[in-house]
Structure formats: C-alpha cells, structure tokens
Amino acid sequence: MSEAVKAPREKREKRHNPKKEEKNARKALAELRANKGNTNAETHEACLVLARCLAAQGGEKYSEAEDLFREAIEGKRKALGYGHKSIGPILMELSDVLTETGDKNKVREATALEKEANQMAIAA
C-alpha cells in the first residue's frame, strides 16, 4: 500500500474524542447543507469529517459512515474527475469501513476499492 493511501488511515487512528467531534461535525454538516447545498465542495469535506468520526467509533456507526464516505466520493468525482488523486485515500477509508462490517459482499467491494485506490496512487 502506498504512503499516500496510508496517511488518512493513520490520521484517523490518532483521533482522541470521536463522540465529541461527531457532535460538532454533525452541526457543521447540517449548516453547510442548509446554506450551500449538497453539491458544494465544503459540504463534501464536512461529510468526510463526520464519516471519519463515525468510523472511529465503529459498530453501529459504520453504516452511516459508509453512506457519508460514498456521498463525499461521488461529489468529489463529479467535481474533480473520476480518477482524481485526492479520491484514492477516501476510497481506502471506505474500504476500511466495509472490511470492518464483516459482510462478505462488502469485504469483496473493499478489496476492489483498495485496488482502485492503489492504481490512483501509482498513476499520480
């Protein structure tokens, strides 16, 4: 796995208080959605912040984290292009969440996402 892909995972692991961060991230995302809409780049970044808070908590939070990662990826792909280098690390984060669920279909998808992220890192 490339260093560019590992970096977000390592940052997420250093979080100290994901429950408190979740509350703040939810508030920020709600405000951005209300003021700038769902297609704004800042909204996509806020989705990532909340997704990372939820993923750090694990368990029942994985489902919502998965949805938010997917929303951010979709928005970034529309704005920056399908294979933009900034999308690879987010694919890896989504892959981590999918793997942690233990669902066989999601684990297969996670493997495919990891391959795609590594290809993006190589191409960059």
For the segment 23-52, the average pLDDT, to the nearest whole number, is 96
The pLDDT tens digits for 80-96 are: 998 898 999 999 999 99
User: Is the pLDDT at 51 greater than 60, yes or no?
Assistant: yes
Range of the domain at 109: 3-123
The model's pTM: 0.84
Cα(3)–Cα(81) distance, integer angstroms? 22
CB half-sphere exposure, 87, CA atoms < 13 A:
21
- Count of structural domains within the chain: 1
For residues 43 and 29, the answer to whether their CB atoms sit within 8 Å is: yes
What single DSSP character describes residue 14?
A: T
Cα(45)–Cα(37) distance, integer angstroms? 13
The pLDDT tens digits for 3-13 are: 555 556 555 55
Cα(1)–Cα(81) distance, integer angstroms? 23
Q: CATH code at 12?
A: 1.25.40.10
Quickly count: other Cβ atoms within 10 Å of residue 39's Cβ: 11
For the segment 40-48, the average pLDDT, to the nearest whole number, is 96
